[in-house]
Structure 1
Amino acid sequence: MTVEDRIAEILLNVIERAVQKTCFLFCLLLMLAGVWSLYDTALLYYDASDQSVLRFRPQSSGETGNLYESLRGSVSWLVLDGAGVDDPIMQGKDNMEYLNRNPFGEFSLAGSLFLDCRNSADFSDPYSMIYGHHMDHHMMFGALDQYMEKEFFDTHESGRLYVNDEILELKIIAAAECSAYDQRVFEPGEADQVKEFIQSHALYLREFNPEEDCRIVAFSTCRYPDTESRTVVFALIL
């Protein structure tokens, strides 16, 4: 074997080992990415299903003192009968604060249900807006998907907000899909525009008198991942 042949053989061996190591590292990275993805997903749904916050749920009398003392950013507690929503409502200095924070103020991809920062914390505005992440298995505001099914909408119309030791009864009046940029829906405060939207765009609608002086609260979540489409459920505060 000539010197040139020997050098070529050595180079081929070096290249072969380098390719093998590169393939091994690539496969290892893929495996680690898969493990991390599974861990991240499991953590996300663990946060969303955490029941420890239920110990702060107001009693049937509506007393909310323990809720406000224990969860500093909380303004109310929301129950949507039969939908699986039974959670505290937070409110931050802006609408990003509780997007990825749980009710204890800790980082959480599942975030919290939260009232629009522009709304009054006592729900005295004619129109209030509550947001929450869309989670599978009807967790968080993934539960709102159920109202987009006629049979469920027709048979589930009640809920409650516990606010300042008072129980505000809710009546679900509409379910709709809209753009996240629709200012008729996502401009809390006055109710005239949203009443008009409800009457003209609701997928399902219960009879109500838009001429009456009333308070409306909307619950909003993403309709599909990575889109601007939103599911919005509207309720009257009775």
Structure 2
Amino acid sequence: MERKAEYCLTQIFHYLVNGLAAIVFFCCIAYSGYALWDNWSILKEPDQVREDLIRYKPANEEELSYSFQELKAMNPDVCGWLTLDHTKIDYPVVQGTDNFEYLEKDVLGNPSVAGSIFLDAKSDRNFHDFYTVIMGHHMQGRKMFGDIDLYTDASFFEKNTTGTLYVEGRILKLETVAILKADAYDKYVYRTDWKEKEEKEELIRHIYELAVHTWGERLTVEDQMIALSTCSSGNTNGRHLLICKVIKENTVEGSETE
């Protein structure tokens, strides 16, 4: 009898252990499935928003005024549309009251881990500054500003140098001139109020000191620059900045700017 009781207890114990192991296994499977779904959802968010808005992207000068009227009707914080040729960077640009507002909010104002492509809160929303900073998250799957990494490759950098920034009333043609590795607290590349000639020259020197690759003629104080900033992988405070120069500006008659 004692052996039978001991055997029964052993079997019950084995059943409990196996049952618990099965529960843990299925919980792991469920969690892994949820994690994959959650990651897919996060990566899908920016594409979905862009698909919803792409029909409002200005295709030419004739459509510029209408496109911005439609975009600003959905969100008055919209101030531009940025496209870099041969990349997936093709998004509307917004400007918040500070540089935190659109970190986790999409262009339509909805909560989003991917955030938005946004203009530095201290920059001129009409893009007349000597040096302007636009920021966006570094996302997997080449989402948001994930493609800025491509420019760290010398071959890609040299072969892909063009882009367009559509702003209300104007179309700015861009040329990429440098890709930088910088720190999030760099006192030069995240400053936007450059007035004096000597200060501007100092910024230009600093840009070339940080440059991984450069292209074209050296920047001058007469140039207008647009810096595209995102996080770099492997370093909490590491940043990549793609420096673009405005090489041509088309003004569209009949468009109103603030």
The TM-score range, normalised by the shorter chain, is 0.7 to 0.9
Name whichever of 106-115 and 9-18 sits farther off: 9-18
Name 2:59's counterpart in structure 1: 59
AA partner of residue 53 (structure 2)? V
Residue of 154, 160, 183 corresponding to 2:158:
154
RMSD of aligned C-alpha atoms? 2.3
CA contact (8 A) 1:185 1:193 kept: no
Name 1:28's counterpart in structure 2: 26
**Residue 99 of structure 1, CA deviation:** 1.4
Name the SS of the counterpart of 2:81 in structure 1. Answer: strand
The Cα offsets for residues 186-209 of structure 1, whole Å up to 9 and x where unpaired, read as: 223324443122222211112445
1:231 matched to 2:240? The reply is yes
Name 2:231's counterpart in structure 1: 222
Count of residues in Structure 1 that have an aligned counterpart in Structure 2? 236
TM-score by length of 1: 0.87
- Cα distance in 1 for residues equivalent to 2:74 and 2:245: 28
TM-score by length of 2: 0.81
- Cα distance in 2 for residues equivalent to 1:228 and 1:18: 49
Name the SS of the counterpart of 1:234 in structure 2. Answer: strand
**Residue 43 of structure 1, CA deviation:** 0.8
The Cα offsets for residues 114-153 of structure 1, whole Å up to 9 and x where unpaired, read as: 1111212112222211111223343321111222222222
Name 1:172's counterpart in structure 2: 176
Name the SS of the counterpart of 1:129 in structure 2. Answer: strand
CA contact (8 A) 1:128 1:189 kept: no
CA contact (8 A) 1:65 1:165 kept: no
The Cα offsets for residues 196-229 of structure 1, whole Å up to 9 and x where unpaired, read as: 2222221111244544333211111122156322
- Cα distance in 2 for residues equivalent to 1:19 and 1:94: 55
CA contact (8 A) 1:217 1:236 kept: yes
- Cα distance in 2 for residues equivalent to 1:80 and 1:31: 40
CA contact (8 A) 1:129 1:218 kept: yes
1:163 matched to 2:167? The reply is yes
Distance 1:77 1:121, change over 3 A: same
- Cα distance in 1 for residues equivalent to 2:202 and 2:103: 26
Name 2:256's counterpart in structure 1: none
1:74 matched to 2:78? The reply is yes
1:115 matched to 2:124? The reply is no
Query: Where in structure 2 are the equivalents of 1:115-154 lying within 5 Å?
Result: 115-154=119-158
Query: Structure 1, unaligned stretches of length 5 or more?
Result: none
CA contact (8 A) 2:201 2:220 kept: no
Residue of 175, 187, 190 corresponding to 1:186:
190
Query: Structure 2, unaligned stretches of length 5 or more?
Result: 195-199, 248-258
Distance 1:127 1:212, change over 3 A: closer
* Larger helix share, 1 or 2: 2
Name 2:210's counterpart in structure 1: 201
1:47 matched to 2:45? The reply is yes
AA partner of residue 231 (structure 1)? H
The Cα offsets for residues 150-198 of structure 1, whole Å up to 9 and x where unpaired, read as: 2222222222211122112222111122222222222233244431222
- Cα distance in 1 for residues equivalent to 2:7 and 2:185: 65
1:103 matched to 2:112? The reply is no
CA contact (8 A) 2:85 2:162 kept: yes
Name the SS of the counterpart of 1:123 in structure 2. Answer: coil
- Cα distance in 2 for residues equivalent to 1:27 and 1:34: 11
Name whichever of 9-18 and 166-175 sits farther off: 9-18
AA partner of residue 58 (structure 2)? P
Identity of aligned pairs, percent? 27
- Cα distance in 2 for residues equivalent to 1:155 and 1:79: 16
